[in-house]
Structure 1
Amino acid sequence: MSDLSAHPDNLAALEERLRQDLSWLELPAKSWVPARDVDGQPVVDVVVIGGGMAGLVASGMLKRLGVANHLVLDKAAAGQEGPWVTFARMRTLRSPKQLTGPAMGLPALTFRAYYEARFGREAWVALDRAPRRIWMDYLIWYRKVLDLPVRNGVSVDNILPRADGMLDIACSEGGAKKTIVARHVVLATGRDGLGGPFVPAIAGSMDRKYWAHTADEIDFAALRGKRVGVIGAGASAMDNAASALEAGAARLDMFVRRKTLPAINKFTGIGSQGVVHGFAGLPDEWKWRFLSYAMSQQTPPPRPSVLRVSAFEQAHLHLESPIDALRQEGDHIVVTTPRGSYPVDFLIFGTGFKIDLANRPELASFEPHIRLWRDRFPTPAGMENVELEGSPDLGDAFEFLERVPGSCPALSKIHCFNFPATLSHGKLTGDIPAISEGADRLVRGIVRSLFVEDRETHFANLQAFDTPELIGDEWAADDAEALSELSSQRN
């Protein structure tokens, strides 16, 4: 992490301003959800799984709307949540620096406010994009100033439906097993939250020590003087290629199926509040049409990432070079494409992620019941897309829906606040730009569900409320009739 003491007084002043802003807005709202317990164990209203950016803003919004009894669980150590200081290998974020991201509409909570407090206005003006590690520092600060209830070092092993309509969350923490009873669960589990890294089957015959996926831990120092191959040319592929070159790789071969690298990020071109708030209202065929087209065009790698690779003369880009075969020869792999064969000492798959619910053991009890888009909508001819077909069909609050109505009611208590929600809700969960709007939609839906479910308690509280507004001395003393009637009303 970066030095947090650059401008400590300015950061302290920013935190004071944030406290004042929250006070003026009467935030966070008072806690209002009735407490519950099961067999003497307190019930947690909402458990958020994942303490990265999406999990933090979901927690911030829950706290903001008065759902104080919630937890955020993350298996990573504090400060290691999400990809930013683990498998993300870009120098800077790919998003423009001015995007407000998880700030929830609070100016003092934006990355810009944080960066200027630490480094000054001139440094902000000179900045191109947010440095990746300073972005992580910002998220750590965000968690601290909002006092979010994150518990690190906790792995979620299983989620199970209960007969009373709630959920059991089986966890491991420090070698001990524990079960948390929750009313709602939010899966803020990132790009691979409903599956995992995608590696083509052709890799299966290769010794695992000779290859990795971009999401894996990679010892780049060990690649010094080696021949390295990278399959794919997306952002992560470029960043991993650059990391290998900067570590001293002797040669880098990048294999790409396309004739040219994609140059235009289509969704960036239509980014607007209309897309953020309107996409979910599109008819099914239009949702599919938008995303099928955008995905077929592909997202280009950021220009700085490409320049970072092309700056090395030992880097070689092979276009129109799909992988025909991989074979292991002694201590290296031979990559065969229509354009030739290339020996590499280590191969990195920049082949993205896949949706595969069967790959998520914590969802094993629910997987057979989860409705997918292939169950909802017939794929249009010429627009076949495995990722879209396997995307979950989600409700208004990102909740899973049942494939067969009535087969698993507890699904409505599990909310998919990660990248595979895109087809149902648009890009509100996997990227920085609209993450606050996504969290607002998520939490308002959870709040509605909690209130409706507890309606009897809230009605009883309404009936029991007896704090008087008028106490009998508001009218002139000579109007005895008015006083008498007021007294009778109070009694």
Structure 2
Amino acid sequence: MTLSPTSAGGLAALEARLRQDLAWLDLPAKRWVPPQTRDGLPVLDVAIIGGGMAGLAASTALTHLGIEAPIFDRAPAGLEGPWATTARMETLRSPKQLTGPALGLPALTFRAWFEAQFGAGAWEALDKIPRLQWMDYLRWYRQALGLDIRNGHSVTRVTPRGDGVVALAVAGPDGDNTVYARHLVLATGRDGLGGPTVPPFVRDLPRNVWAHSSDEMDYATLRGKRVGVIGAGASAMDSAATALEAGAESVDLLIRRADIPRVNKGKGAGNPGLTHGHLALPDEWKWRIRHYVNVQQVPPPRGSTLRVSRFENARFNLGCPILDVTRRDGELHVRTPKGTFVLDFLIFSTGFRTDLFARNEFAALAPHVRLWRDRYTPAAGDEDTELSDSPDLGPVFEFQEKTPGACPGLDRVHCFCYPATLTHGALSGDIPAISEGAKRLAQGLAATLYREDAEQHFAIMQAYVEPEVFGDEWTPAPPPAMEPAR
């Protein structure tokens, strides 16, 4: 759907309302965290890695509480997150009415942004939010709030220290620098603590004949090629459709299951009780809920699936797990229980794994992070690698040490990305509850920073001398008359 703005001043009026709403709420609060330095350098209150939706929401929530929280993102401005780079869906899966990162501010919602430009009638006619329009909204979100995002800055090493700071090695436009922060938030997305998952046989294939669905890639290079897509989830459908639209000769979806999942069980569990109650559940219930969602799997969106099936040269091959792949004369021979497919290119829509050891920037902390496998052993038959690999986080999304005392300062690093889901619920990556997650993170960090500086804050209170009463507001009464002595 292509729309033209109905009012040139619509966004200006919305931004004026947003400023008024913030003023009425007295937001943002004044800075209150005592400044610090290390090695002659200023120490940030909080640093955030990642300027996508989660990073934006976290920075805003912290700023509103009077806490400095700049964002470091390696992408150019306006290309943070996956929406304009590796995401290939036409529209978002989430219902349009979800308020996303608005943090309870009506003027900060996608709906307010959309209606300000296109009107209420267009909103009523809108089915799903177009992907690139969502990215436009996030760009506006950043601009309207004046967030401090430092683009083109890659954090190459994270080193927790025992003196109350985390050291960041940052490569940016001005060269390599060291940045100190009292706390670090990892808002690094779906693959934020690891990378794409691919089957072992991929190691034997040259990189020019396969890609993961999360790779940045020009799908025009697939024109005239026979493409295989492994998987049946949303990213598989989006990758298959993009390849077909780019002129692929054919696309074979190779689907391990005998059928494609039909029901999104996670959607059926979504309510404020789960949002706010998951953290306090016993381990058994946390595991049971998340494992059930994983086993049932999330179906691809109907629209994404129809986008593929409208092509006659798209084939849905069910019950086709890959047994092996060999390369002969430049062709890929993909053997399955239902026969061998001869293809030119493979796309793996096989999800992501959590593996801190796979990320060089986390080398200093990877051996020390406590995982759920260190905390909980599921019943036989309920094993789940994704859950076992998840970090066992504290109440402020903080990493915890596997061996107490082995990595001082590790709890100053906070995991506000998808791998936090088992501990905290789906609050740190998906649209429905991102505001609740950002508020939990910000409030917890505010409490932590205040506790760490309690002595200084007490001294500030003791030194506070601004009077509210001046002594001229009353006239002292004369003393009562003395009774004569008897």
- Report the TM-score range of the alignment, normalised by the length of the smaller protein: over 0.9
- Contact 1:210 1:332 (C-alpha < 8 Å) held by counterparts: no
One-letter identity of the residue aligned with 2:331: H
Report SS of the residue matched to 1:123.
helix
Deviations 1:145-188, CA, capped at 9 Å, x for gaps? 11111000000000112341211100101261000011000000
Deviations 1:103-151, CA, capped at 9 Å, x for gaps? 0000000000001111111111111111001100000000011111100
Change (3 A) 1:481 1:73: farther
Cα distance in 1 for residues equivalent to 2:8 and 2:31: 32
Deviations 1:268-292, CA, capped at 9 Å, x for gaps? 0121000100111110001001111
Q: Is 1:250 aligned to 2:249, yes or no?
A: yes
Q: What is the CA-CA distance between 1:70 and the residue it aligns to? A: 2.3
Q: Is 1:259 aligned to 2:239, yes or no?
A: no
- Contact 1:370 1:402 (C-alpha < 8 Å) held by counterparts: yes
Superposition pairs for residues 14-29 of structure 1, below 5 Å? 14-29=14-29
Q: What is the CA-CA distance between 1:368 and the residue it aligns to? A: 1.1
Report SS of the residue matched to 1:169.
strand
Report SS of the residue matched to 2:10.
helix
One-letter identity of the residue aligned with 1:479: A
Cα distance in 1 for residues equivalent to 2:479 and 2:233: 82
> What TM-score does the superposition give when structure 1 sets the normalisation length?
0.96
Q: Is 1:479 aligned to 2:477, yes or no?
A: yes
Deviations 1:71-100, CA, capped at 9 Å, x for gaps? 100000001000000000000011011100
Cα distance in 2 for residues equivalent to 1:206 and 1:4: 47
Give 2:412's aligned residue: 413
Cα distance in 1 for residues equivalent to 2:187 and 2:300: 25
Cα distance in 2 for residues equivalent to 1:12 and 1:115: 13
Give 2:63's aligned residue: 63
Report SS of the residue matched to 1:392.
coil
One-letter identity of the residue aligned with 2:22: L
Q: How big is the alpha-carbon RMSD for the aligned residues of Structure 1 and Structure 2? A: 1.4
Q: What is the CA-CA distance between 1:10 and the residue it aligns to? A: 0.8
Cα distance in 2 for residues equivalent to 1:161 and 1:46: 13
Cα distance in 2 for residues equivalent to 1:430 and 1:65: 21
Report SS of the residue matched to 2:341.
strand
> What is the percent sequence identity of the aligned residues?
57
Q: What is the CA-CA distance between 1:406 and the residue it aligns to? A: 1.9
Deviations 1:455-476, CA, capped at 9 Å, x for gaps? 1110110100011111011113
Deviations 1:26-65, CA, capped at 9 Å, x for gaps? 1111111111112331111100000000000000001111
Cα distance in 1 for residues equivalent to 2:403 and 2:216: 40
Report SS of the residue matched to 2:122.
helix
Gaps of 5+ in 2: 481-486
Cα distance in 2 for residues equivalent to 1:104 and 1:398: 18
Moved more, 167-176 or 110-119: 167-176
Report SS of the residue matched to 2:163.
coil
Q: Is 1:330 aligned to 2:325, yes or no?
A: no
One-letter identity of the residue aligned with 2:8: P
- Contact 2:240 2:308 (C-alpha < 8 Å) held by counterparts: yes
Give 1:488's aligned residue: none
Give 2:484's aligned residue: none
One-letter identity of the residue aligned with 1:215: S
One-letter identity of the residue aligned with 2:477: D
- Contact 2:162 2:408 (C-alpha < 8 Å) held by counterparts: no
Q: What is the CA-CA distance between 1:250 and the residue it aligns to? A: 1.3
Cα distance in 2 for residues equivalent to 1:161 and 1:276: 30
- Contact 1:100 1:433 (C-alpha < 8 Å) held by counterparts: yes
Deviations 1:340-389, CA, capped at 9 Å, x for gaps? 01111111000010111101111111111100001011122110001100
Deviations 1:250-302, CA, capped at 9 Å, x for gaps? 11100001010000000101210001001111100010011111110000000
Superposition pairs for residues 65-214 of structure 1, below 5 Å? 65-67=65-67, 69-174=68-173, 176-214=175-213
Q: What is the CA-CA distance between 1:309 and the residue it aligns to? A: 0.2
Superposition pairs for residues 312-461 of structure 1, below 5 Å? 312-461=311-460
Moved more, 176-185 or 214-223: 214-223
Cα distance in 1 for residues equivalent to 2:429 and 2:95: 15
Cα distance in 1 for residues equivalent to 2:332 and 2:348: 13
Moved more, 402-411 or 76-85: 402-411
| Deviating 4+ runs (over 4 angstroms) | 2-6
Deviations 1:291-345, CA, capped at 9 Å, x for gaps? 1111100000000000000000100010000000111112221111000011111
Q: What is the CA-CA distance between 1:3 and the residue it aligns to? A: 8.9
Report SS of the residue matched to 1:229.
strand
Cα distance in 2 for residues equivalent to 1:468 and 1:170: 46
Cα distance in 1 for residues equivalent to 2:3 and 2:168: 37
Cα distance in 1 for residues equivalent to 2:442 and 2:319: 46
Cα distance in 1 for residues equivalent to 2:181 and 2:4: 36
Cα distance in 2 for residues equivalent to 1:481 and 1:146: 60
Q: Is 1:229 aligned to 2:225, yes or no?
A: no
Cα distance in 1 for residues equivalent to 2:161 and 2:346: 45
Moved more, 202-211 or 180-189: 202-211
Gaps of 5+ in 1: 483-491
Change (3 A) 1:330 1:25: same
Cα distance in 2 for residues equivalent to 1:161 and 1:105: 33
Report SS of the residue matched to 2:185.
strand
Give 1:486's aligned residue: none
- Contact 1:158 1:171 (C-alpha < 8 Å) held by counterparts: yes
Q: Is 1:36 aligned to 2:36, yes or no?
A: yes
Change (3 A) 1:324 1:460: same
Deviations 1:208-265, CA, capped at 9 Å, x for gaps? 1011000112221121121111000100010000000111111110000101000000
* Number of corresponding residues: 479
Report SS of the residue matched to 1:347.
strand
Give 1:489's aligned residue: none
Report SS of the residue matched to 2:129.
coil
One-letter identity of the residue aligned with 2:51: G
Report SS of the residue matched to 1:409.
coil
One-letter identity of the residue aligned with 2:38: V
Cα distance in 2 for residues equivalent to 1:92 and 1:352: 19
Cα distance in 2 for residues equivalent to 1:481 and 1:98: 70
One-letter identity of the residue aligned with 1:38: R
Report SS of the residue matched to 1:42.
strand
- Contact 1:379 1:389 (C-alpha < 8 Å) held by counterparts: no
One-letter identity of the residue aligned with 2:473: E
- Contact 1:32 1:66 (C-alpha < 8 Å) held by counterparts: yes
